[in-house]
Structure 1
């Protein structure tokens, strides 16, 4: 069938095309080859998959933590962190445009000829070679036969052209030429989409950076201090940037992440944040958040007020503002710092989130960097789990703030402090977390809350342990009491026991109970009864600390020490306080903070994009959709009719047709046309060939 159709549609034209191909330069043949275009499309598809799966334009530290040093460097060398602006991706797009453009330019003339030529130069033998043909010997004259054939063709939507060759009239018809337009549209669509992608590929930024007209800033600077060579003007082309705007403030810039730094993109208008709102699920996760924005534009008579949320952006002058994230906007904090140096002193500290403060702590200057504030901290309610087994009941334990303490050498630790006490196993604690870096979980110091829901009792207890005179007196009372129970009346032994207790408490404050145990084990090594001595020494330490705790209770209640009677809750508090004292040694800070008051302020995180090539890509996509539809659902069909008059006044009629893509459907259509002709003539005088 294909060979027969080729014979009908004209092998001389095919020979001419082959001759032109042979005369074309090799490089032109290479650029216009289908294999090259498919290869480039496959590479672009793979790159697009990588750009979709791998988050783009994140800070380099995030990639380093995620992939490790080796693969981080490999992916960095391949520009996989910014695929769509990578030099090799833009180069492939440019090469694809050239290749597809050459292919289209070379084939459009042939497509045009195929669409416009009716191929009237056909031979009878060629038509008879087609599988769909039919011959009639009719009594009507040639004009009548021609009219019947033409009516049959046009009745099925064929456009016809007539040509006379000698005595023979040739009718050539065709329909479905739009499928050829589909071929052109699909190829042009690839060019248009690639051009749109290049427009939005930050080519201008790449050129400016290569020519030295743009410097990527890597320092953490206020926007007012970023040098001019790291700025992009409002008409710089396409970009995708981010900006954080606190409530009641405005900005006219966005920050573009470029490798391990950024550049500042100026906007042609200002964005003001009136209010930011966020709703939460019962488990504390955000369910929705939205921003009330005001756009101030010199070209507008009145500002634009719009509320945006996730999936509901705002577009103005080709710039689209998306609700991308949220953060603290500089919450003001009123804090009290409780020194752990034994003085029992405290100091007020006022600051804002993201502010750095200079503090004199532990005899040296330290920098306190206030990192974040959390209004809600929602955890699973353990009592609900124990009571009903349900794990979907939660409770909010209140606000907290995070800060970093950095010493003069630059070494830093991160801390987390909760404002209110947290209930754990029916006891209440103030939680103070610490970690050495972002990759570690927080370890917590549990400071027990007293009957007034404060840390004062523990702080007084901790300060008393650091007072040598009070420790000495308490140790003496503890030693006398223990020896008295044992029936030993030896003042010298009592003094030695008291001295041991004083030494153990000093070790406890420096290194915790672990250091005390190591000290005691070294002391009793080689003795006859080491276990008994260890147990006695621990009892002396605990009794001494309890005596100091009783002193604290007496001072807080304003009564004589002899009148202090401890109940079960106070004894439980003492156990927690001892554990907390041991943990303070590992806390790594000479101060713990409490939150007295805060003025919460939120900030919205916007992603601002400008994509002038977006409409070009949309147009190319529409062209591609239309082209594919034309290619798959419209078939190019040709029909012919040869009418030759006979000497007896009748005529011979030959009809034939060809369609390579849908031969079965065309055969059915051709059959109905034959039936239409049969209805006009005597079917007995036909040749069914």
Structure 2
């Protein structure tokens, strides 16, 4: 029984010994450091903690899910990254605990027990004979050691004297500092990591909120009191004229709310732009008020110039819309086209309305004051043009289906014609397409909408067609034939408006085929049909201008007519029964602040200093040992030694050519002062052997 227990203990000791050896191995440390280096490169190249849509657009659904599964969008807080840090911390600490006592003993030890045989076996070893006394050789050896900066000790042994010397003990301290610095850095990193927060979440102390809620509606179990976390990194967006006293910390697929011991009020926010439209700088003028003392601080935060307050760092990180107030007209495109509603909305909010009994919802997502895009100038050169402000929104119907649009407030000129632009993104990740609606002589969309409403009115088009038919010799007599011709023409116009020119061509060809007309007559009839449709469209446009008080029809009006017909044929593909025409705004911006508390930063800096000093000591301080063993060579009749054999040996922990030279210089100088004959074996010559 005792034997079995001893065997079991040996197995346990053997297993624990193997685990300890593996934990302190260089291979494990290199593997962990390599993984951390790769992860750090990913965290640097791939922007962290960006909106989901940005990643979806850039990588697509498949790679988004793959990268998300690996937590690459928040590498430094990923569970596997923190686990590797813990393993590296354990490995480095175990290695430090294992080797530091031996290094410290090695620094203090002079190794006065070195024997003749072992010294002669050193790679750097020489021996010779001297006529001087042992005391004289020892004295001169100590003098040379002192000149070279070595600390020496002398030990008298039976029939021989050993002088041992060492220098560069700080090299061993460098090893300790290097590993200790890594430990301190890792501890500092873990202090500032989300490890403690994740532990609180795992224990159920704090819950992750995934809904997009106002702070006042976030449940208490998702709030953390001030000081609950030693270190954290959170963010908050505060509109101009508003204040905030929390930071949102991303965790898993949601967030938790960290309450702050102060509140931040945004007095003003302003952005400076380059000519290309890119922001040059953005700054927040804030008032910070301490909740406990009531102390207030007025400060302007700029990019890379944070405000530091009682261990908290407040960075200017981004900016966005803070709830810009919008005015817009909602135009009906289908059904009773040409009617509109004047509505109001706010960015980051929803606006519901009805049109002809149908319910719609506008979800305003963003507002951009400047939209600078490259365009082609009159001389063909590329130049930057500001398209003016735009609003991005989603129009959602009663069934819940939505399409995203980006509409511009003012018309943009292309090739001498001004257009109202509407960008359409039918689905996430799809390329944006644009609808170009020509502006009238008053830079308004009114003329086009009135013209389009006329084209959508079947009765009005039939009336215009009937008037045109009545002016022909065949239609002047009126009657059923005139009405039938008018309805047929109105049908062709409707086909053109609803389905485009290709559908109109197919309809005319089908009519020609049904009449079984000869090719020559069919071609003439086709061209005649197109001319009639063109005439009806032109008459509808002319009447639209007359209703608006336009008396003279010029080249600009003719150009508008052609551009308007191009738009009419693509409206069915626009994807929306409503056209939102923004008309005015009250711009309100918000500032994005990053709020951090990093007590581990001090330890990271301290560890980095220790690591730097340690590496310097390891590379530039040489830990060297030298021995000089003095033994009698000849003994006279009185038992006194008349000659002495001197063995010189040395070692350097780094085995480089510098020590070859240093050992040769030392041994040569010692022989010069104390020796007479070089008894050195070629196999023990410095640099050989």
TM-score scaled by structure 2?
A: 0.86
Q: Evaluate the alpha carbon distance shift between residue 281 and residue 111 of structure 1 in structure 2; reply closer, same or farther with a 3 A threshold.
A: same
User: Residue 317 in 1 paired to residue 307 in 2?
Assistant: no
Contact 1:381 1:394 in 2 (8 A): yes
Separation in 2, partners of 1:654, 1:440: 83
- CA distance in 2 between counterparts of 1:61 and 1:435 reads 13
The alpha-carbon distance between structure 1 residues 325 and 495, as it changes in their structure 2 partners (threshold 3 A), is: same
Using a 3 Å threshold, how does the CA distance of structure 1 residues 566 and 183 change in structure 2: closer, same or farther? same
Moved more, 355-364 or 339-348: 339-348
Distance 1:136 1:37, change over 3 A: same
Partners of 2:134 and 2:377 lie apart in 1 by: 101
Q: Distance in 1 between matches of 2:543 and 2:393?
A: 34
Q: What SS class does the counterpart of residue 429 from structure 2 fall into?
A: coil
Specify the alignment match of 1:14 in structure 2.
none
SS, match of residue 284 in structure 1: coil
State which of 87, 90, 94 in structure 1 corresponds to 2:79: 87
2:8 counterpart residue number: none
Residue equivalent to 1:237 = 230
**Greater mean alpha carbon deviation, residues 397-406 or residues 523-532:** 523-532
Equivalent residue, structure 2, for 1:496: 484
Shift of 1:534: 2.9
Following the alignment from structure 1 to structure 2, what is the Cα–Cα distance between the partners of residues 77 and 338? 44
* Matching residue of 2:210: 218
CA apart distance, 1:94:
2.3
1:436 maps onto 2:426 in alignment: yes
How many Å apart are 1:500 and its aligned residue?
Answer: 1.6
Paired positions, count: 655
Separation in 2 of the partners of 1:567 and 1:643?
119
Which of 91, 105, 115 aligns to 1:123? It is: 115
In structure 1, what is the Cα distance between the partners aligned to 2:437 and 2:134? 112
2:569 to 576, 582, 593: 582
What is the CA-CA distance between 1:489 and the residue it aligns to? 5.4
Rate the CA distance shift 1:648–1:160 in 2: closer, same or farther, 3 A: closer
Deviations 1:64-120 (A, max 9, x none): 555555555544444444333333333333233333322222222221221111011
d(CA) in 2 for partners of 1:685, 1:601: 95
SS of equivalent to 1:596: strand
Q: Which residue of 1 aligns with 2:526?
A: 534
Query: Alpha-carbon deviation of 1:543?
Result: 0.9
Q: Following the alignment from structure 1 to structure 2, what is the Cα–Cα distance between the partners of residues 65 and 591?
A: 26
- Secondary structure of the 1:121 match is coil
Whether 2:284 is the aligned partner of 1:291: answer yes
Equivalent residue for 1:7?
A: none
Q: 2-side partners of 1:46 and 1:457: how far apart?
A: 60
Paired position in structure 2 for 1:354? 348
In structure 2, C-alpha distance between the alignment counterparts of 1:660 and 1:162, rounded to whole Å: 22
**Does 2:569 match 1:603?**
no
Contact 2:285 2:298 in 1 (8 A): yes
1:506-538 alpha-carbon deviations (Å, 9 max, x no partner): 444544445444443443333314433332222
Residue aligning to 1:634: 621
Change in CA separation of 1:519 and 1:244 when aligned onto 2, cut-off 3 Å: farther
Match in the other structure for 2:361 = 367
Q: Distance in 2 between matches of 1:652 and 1:300?
A: 83
Q: Deviations for 1:551-573, whole angstroms, at most 9, x for unmatched residues?
A: 22223337xxxxx5522222212
Give 2:7's aligned residue: none
Rounded to whole Å, the distance in 2 between the matches of 1:42 and 1:57 is 24
Comparing 596-605 with 643-652, which one deviates more in the overlay?
643-652
* Cα distance between partner residues in 1 of 2:423 and 2:659: 79
Q: Distance in 2 between matches of 1:467 and 1:370?
A: 32
Residue of structure 1 equivalent to 2:599:
612
Alignment partner of 1:36 out of 23, 28, 34: 28
The corresponding residue for 1:419 is 409
Matches within 5 A, 1:123-142: 123-130=115-122, 131-135=124-128, 137-139=130-132, 141-142=133-134
What pairs up with 1:400-479 in 2 under 5 angstroms?
A: 400-468=390-458, 470-479=460-469
Q: Which moved more, 1:648-657 or 1:103-112?
A: 648-657
Report if aligned partners of 1:641, 1:655 keep a CA contact under 8 Å in 2. Answer: yes
1:97 aligns with 2:89: yes
Distance 2:14 2:456 in 1: 98
Separation in structure 2 between the aligned mates of residue 414 and residue 35 of structure 1, nearest angstrom: 53
| Inter-CA distance 658–322: structure 2 relative to 1 (3 Å threshold) | same
Query: 1:491 is paired with a residue of what secondary structure?
Result: coil
Report the secondary structure of 2:393's partner residue: strand
CA distance in 2 between counterparts of 1:249 and 1:288 reads 21
Q: Do the aligned partners of 2:131 and 2:676 also contact (CA within 8 Å) in 1?
A: no
CA contact (8 A) 1:326 1:603 kept: yes
For 1:488 and 1:588, the matched residues in 2 are separated by 40
2:9 aligned residue: none
SS at match of 1:372: strand
Unaligned residue ranges in structure 1 (runs of 5+): 1-20, 559-563
Structure 2 unaligned segments of length 5 or more: list them: 1-12, 682-689
Q: Is the 8 A contact 1:342 1:464 kept in 2?
A: no
User: After the TM superposition, which of the residue ranges 348-357 and 118-127 deviates more from structure 2?
Assistant: 118-127
- d(CA) in 2 for partners of 1:494, 1:24: 105
**Distance (Å, rounded) in 1 between the aligned partners of 2:52 and 2:452:** 44
Q: Report the Cα distance in structure 2 between the residues aligned to 1:525 and 1:606, rounded to whole angstroms.
A: 71
Q: Classify 1:342/1:91 alpha carbon distance in 2 versus 1 (closer, same or farther; 3 Å).
A: closer
- More divergent stretch after superposition (73-82 vs 368-377): 73-82
User: How many angstroms does 1:348 deviate by?
Assistant: 2.2
Question: Residue 511 of structure 2 corresponds to which residue in structure 1?
Answer: 523
* Distance of aligned partners of 1:568 and 1:35 in 2 relative to their CA distance in 1, 3 Å threshold: closer
1:83, 1:466 → 2: CA distance? 56
CA contact (8 A) 1:414 1:436 kept: yes
- Return the TM-score normalized by structure 1: 0.86
CA distance in 1, matches of 2:677, 2:564: 117
Please give the alpha-carbon distance, in whole angstroms, between the structure 2 residues aligned to 1:256 and 1:525.
71
Q: CA deviation at 1:680?
A: 4.8
Task: State the distance in 1 between where 2:446 and 2:653 align.
Answer: 93
- 1:390 aligned partner: 381
Supply the RMSD in Å over aligned alpha carbons.
Answer: 3.1
In structure 2, the residue matched to 1:670 is: 663
